[in-house]
Amino acid sequence: MKRVAVLASGQGTNLEAILEEIAQGKVAARVVLVISDRERAPALERARRRGIRAMFVDPGLYRSREEYDAAVIGELKEERVELVVLAGFMRLLSPLFIREFPMRVMNIHPALLPSFPGTSGIEDALAYGVKVTGCTVHFVDEGLDTGPVILQEAVPVIQDDTAETLHQRVHAAEYRLYPRAVDLFCRDKLKVEGRRCYIVE
Ligand code: GAR
């Protein structure tokens, strides 16, 4: 089993979906640590409820992004983490972090990248008026939501959608996609060549 850490800032429903599939034996991973940049993030409580070590690392204690990331890297190394899963982690990682875990950091984004990168993928898709959006799991590189795409799923936008109803539908797709991507990585079934990520048997 590969040792996985999850970084989350908010509700942690993607974390919950991954933990549930691990519990059911459908994902070959072991989550050894959950870290949040928000002390009261429900994600931390979800981890603790399942007996997983959960830590708040306070951004207020560090002078720069690099110093914060160095503290997080220290925790990840201590736990011998092999894959870092970003699940609603709303901080941009520094190049220092990415170089420490090249093609070993995954993110989920609530749009079909390269459309609508950034922190408001749902709202931006609605405002643009697209009829189809979705979600993307990708490896994280030094850009903003620019790394190689691992999996994507399309989600229709409905006439009366609000950001909330659309996000609910996108979330449902995320809960299918993210555990699968983690499982593929942990079974050594992902191969990256340039921008393209292949699933190998
Ligand atoms: C998810 O929809 C994820 O795609 C999004 O935050 C939500 C977190 O939900 N991430 C981003 O927008 C990253 N730019 P969760 O905390 O319930 O898993």
CATH of residue 133's domain is: 3.40.50.170
Pocket lined around ligand 1, Cβ cut-off 6 Å: 8, 10-14, 87-88, 108-110, 119, 121, 171, 174
CA–centroid distance, 110 to ligand 1, in Å, is: 7
pLDDT per residue as tens digits for the range 88-115: 999 999 999 999 999 999 999 999 999 9
- Contact between 45 and 15 under an 8 Å Cβ cutoff? The reply is no
pLDDT per residue as tens digits for the range 13-40: 999 999 999 999 999 999 999 999 999 9
Q: How many structural domains are present in the chain?
A: 1
For residue 201, pLDDT over 90 is answered with no
Query: ∠99-191-167 over CA atoms, to 5°?
Result: 80
CA separation for the pair 123, 121 (Å, rounded) = 6
CA–centroid distance, 108 to ligand 1, in Å, is: 7
**Residue 99: what pLDDT?**
97
Active site amino acids? 109
pLDDT per residue as tens digits for the range 146-199: 999 999 999 999 999 999 999 999 999 999 999 999 999 999 999 999 999 999
- Per the structure, the complete domain to which residue 149 belongs is given by 2-199
